[in-house]
Amino acid sequence: MSAKTYFEPQSAIPVYDECDVLVVGGGSAGHSAAIAAARAGCKNIILMERYGYFGGDVTGGYVIVVPNLSWYNKSFIRGLQEEWFTRLAKIPGAMRAPSLKDIGCTDPALLHMYGQLTDAVSRATFEGCKPKQLVRSVAFEPNFLKIEMDKMLLEHSDSIRILCHSWGTKPIMEGDVCRGVIFESKEGRKAVLAKVVIDATGDGDIYTRSGAPYQTLSDGATRSNTTALVWRAGGIDWNAFYEWQQQYPEAARAFRTGLMERGGYRISPIASNSNEICWMNNWHANRDCAKIEAQTYTELKTRDTIYAALDYMREAVPAFRNAYLYDIAPQLGTRCSKRLTGEYVMTANDFAFASQFEDVIAWSSTICQINDCGPVEIPYRAILPQKVDNLLAPGRHLSADAVAIDWVNLIPQCVQTGQAAGVAAAVAVADGTTAHTVNIKKVQDILVEQDVPLPRNELFHAKDPSYEELVEEKHCGLYTAMAKKAREEADGETLKKFRQW
Ligand SMILES: Cc1cc2nc3c(=O)[nH]c(=O)nc-3n(C[C@H](O)[C@H](O)[C@H](O)COP(=O)(O)OP(=O)(O)OC[C@H]3O[C@@H](n4cnc5c(N)ncnc54)[C@H](O)[C@@H]3O)c2cc1C
């Protein structure tokens, strides 16, 4: 990079609009925040998105599996996340998943049937895990979700104004209080003023310029520290591939290694909503998805290796003999770049010790196997920046250390924290409080009204006490040998061993 600097002349920036709640970024977190704020009664919301559609990674990045929504026979992640699937279920072929009534089931025929879908059967990989059972994990068609996400917003057009192709670049700060955002567009540079700003850009584009503390990337060993450009292969027979893997595990292992060798990076076929299509997930190691060099490399390197990967798939696996390039995701796969250092930083200890928080906003079954994928509590403070007020940061850039980030920045947690941020912003505006002084009890009660299960909340308890009973009966999932070991040796270094991705 050149060492030269250009000084931009001062210029007056036109205020394009003013609102109560401004959401920057319309991915799973930002989309959920806008909808939840509207349903919590806020009538003056702006949702700003740099592209022309909503969903971010899930629609544009073709990340088309939402895993671990349930634990035993309870669906912990409901609210807006489950609403996606209620809508998609009405569209023929738009999704594949165990139904809510079957979760927790141990019937071998059903386990075999859903075993081919990612994480639809509990892994039971480690000593002491619960027996294999069905888990609510959903594979879906991203283009249908794109349309449904539009519809959800349009249903709230009395409350939400949408700015597409508008790229938020900088917070407008008055001391340590965020008062709006400057953005770039085809109409030039403009500003939106707001009472509360929700940074849902995934890369902390707003909070990193606000003076709030944050961390850059995770370390080299994490899932978060990888980029991707997902593509899809058509003309395959996923059922046949699944049976082939069961029958020839050695050959299946060799195939996955061979695929990695052809690409020069980790690449793996994953089941989709259709038997004829799979998505090709990939992991370019040690890449920061917010760095120009890494973004450019990932785009070009992936496309450059697609033909080689396809040739190898056709040659190595009978079920892929007729595979062809179905399509390439419209946008880069971004796992993590910046992490907020918020008022609370989540760590592996929250999983190993089942931390309880007064300000809990999500009770999230996860991919973490320390507690057998059991529900962990996410506090409001994990999306609340230190130092800066009237700014919230839900989604994949929330406040977690380099280990916990891999477990709390998946789609469900982005939706959950987004939904909570939207409600909190609406409550703060309605009550004339701030993001820091918001009445958290009120936020929790509205979340419960929006179908979000929360522990120790009397409204939720009155609705359904069986969740708390299950968690108590199953000791928060802390019966695994891994949890025992983690609790005995609870220091950062040891817990790093428990990563799985
Ligand atoms: C390849 C890959 C595979 C994954 N696999 C899984 C999986 O199997 N299951 C799972 O649950 N999770 C998975 N994840 C993680 C998950 O997809 C993401 O963490 C999650 O979708 C992020 O949601 P988000 O809303 O926080 O961020 P994003 O989806 O990144 O959304 C951010 C939104 O903000 C917009 N934006 C960004 N910057 C600006 C700006 N400055 N101004 C305006 N708009 C802006 C973007 O265009 C986007 O719409 C995977 C991720 C990747 C990349």
Each residue of 71-122: pLDDT tens digit?
A: 999 999 999 999 999 999 999 999 999 999 999 999 999 999 999 999 999 9
The yes-or-no verdict on residue 128 having pLDDT over 90 is no
End-to-end distance of the chain based on CA atoms, in angstroms?
A: 34
The yes-or-no verdict on residue 501 having pLDDT over 50 is no
Q: Are 82 and 30 in contact (CB under 8 A)?
A: no
Segment 129-137 mean pLDDT = 95
Burial profile 135-151: b = 16 or more Cβ within 10 angstroms, e = fewer: bbbbbbbbebbbebbbe
CA atoms within 13 Å, Cβ hemisphere of 408? 32
Q: Are 31 and 58 in contact (CB under 8 A)?
A: no
- Percentage of the chain lying above the pLDDT 70 cut: 98
Q: Check pocket membership of 49 for ligand 1, CB cut-off 6 A.
A: yes
pTM above 0.85, yes or no: yes
Atom number, ligand 1, closest to the C-alpha of residue 230: 1
- pLDDT of 491 reads 59
Alpha carbons 278 and 20: distance in angstroms, whole number? 42
Q: Check pocket membership of 414 for ligand 1, CB cut-off 6 A.
A: yes
Looking at every residue in the chain, the average pLDDT score rounds to 95
**3-class secondary structure per residue, 257-283:** HHHHHHHCCEEEEEECCCCCCEEEEEE
Atom number, ligand 1, closest to the C-alpha of residue 183: 42
Query: What's the one-letter identity of residue 160?
Result: I
Residue 394 burial (10 A CB sphere; 0-12, 13-18, 19+): buried
- pLDDT of 485 reads 83
- pLDDT of 493 reads 53
- The 3-state DSSP class for residue 323 equals coil
Each residue of 16-75: pLDDT tens digit?
A: 999 999 999 999 999 999 999 999 999 999 999 999 999 999 999 999 999 999 999 999
Look up residue 350 and give its DSSP letter.
H
CA nearest ligand 1 atom 48, residue = 56
Query: What's the one-letter identity of residue 118?
Result: T
Confidence grade of residue 496 (pLDDT, cut at 50, 70, 90): low
Ligand 1: centre distance to CA 204 (Å): 12
CA nearest ligand 1 atom 15, residue = 410
Confidence grade of residue 490 (pLDDT, cut at 50, 70, 90): low
Give residue for tokens 């991919």: 367
Alpha carbons 25 and 410: distance in angstroms, whole number? 16
Query: What's the one-letter identity of residue 206?
Result: I
Each residue of 288-312: pLDDT tens digit?
A: 999 999 999 999 999 999 999 999 9
The yes-or-no verdict on residue 500 having pLDDT over 50 is no
Mutation pick for ligand 1 pocket among 48, 63, 337 (CB with most ligand atoms within 8 Å): 63
Each residue of 373-391: pLDDT tens digit?
A: 999 999 999 999 999 999 9
DSSP 184-239: EETTEEEEEEEEEEEE-SSS-TTGGGTT--EEE---TTSSTTEEE--EEEES--HH
The yes-or-no verdict on residue 473 having pLDDT over 60 is yes
Q: Check pocket membership of 453 for ligand 1, CB cut-off 6 A.
A: no
The yes-or-no verdict on residue 492 having pLDDT over 80 is no
Mutation pick for ligand 1 pocket among 24, 117, 407, 411 (CB with most ligand atoms within 8 Å): 411
Ligand 1: centre distance to CA 26 (Å): 9
Atom number, ligand 1, closest to the C-alpha of residue 333: 53
Look up residue 151 and give its DSSP letter.
H
Using CA atoms, how far residue 170 sits from 24, 44, 193, 195, 197, in Å, is 11, 21, 12, 16, 11
Rounded to the nearest angstrom, the gap between the alpha carbon of residue 148 and the centroid of all alpha carbons in its chain is 18
CA nearest ligand 1 atom 38, residue = 201
The neighbouring-strand residues paired with 196 are: 21
What's the token pair of residue 279?
């998505």
Q: Check pocket membership of 79 for ligand 1, CB cut-off 6 A.
A: no
Q: Are 20 and 42 in contact (CB under 8 A)?
A: yes
Q: Check pocket membership of 230 for ligand 1, CB cut-off 6 A.
A: yes
Alpha carbons 266 and 256: distance in angstroms, whole number? 9
Q: Check pocket membership of 271 for ligand 1, CB cut-off 6 A.
A: no
Alpha carbons 492 and 110: distance in angstroms, whole number? 39
Q: What residues have CB less than 8 Å from 154, skipping those under 6 apart?
A: none
The neighbouring-strand residues paired with 361 are: none
Segment 422-426 mean pLDDT = 99
Alpha carbons 360 and 338: distance in angstroms, whole number? 23
Each residue of 226-258: pLDDT tens digit?
A: 999 999 999 999 999 999 999 999 999 999 999
Each residue of 343-358: pLDDT tens digit?
A: 999 998 999 999 999 9
Confidence grade of residue 427 (pLDDT, cut at 50, 70, 90): very high
Give residue for tokens 């919230």: 392
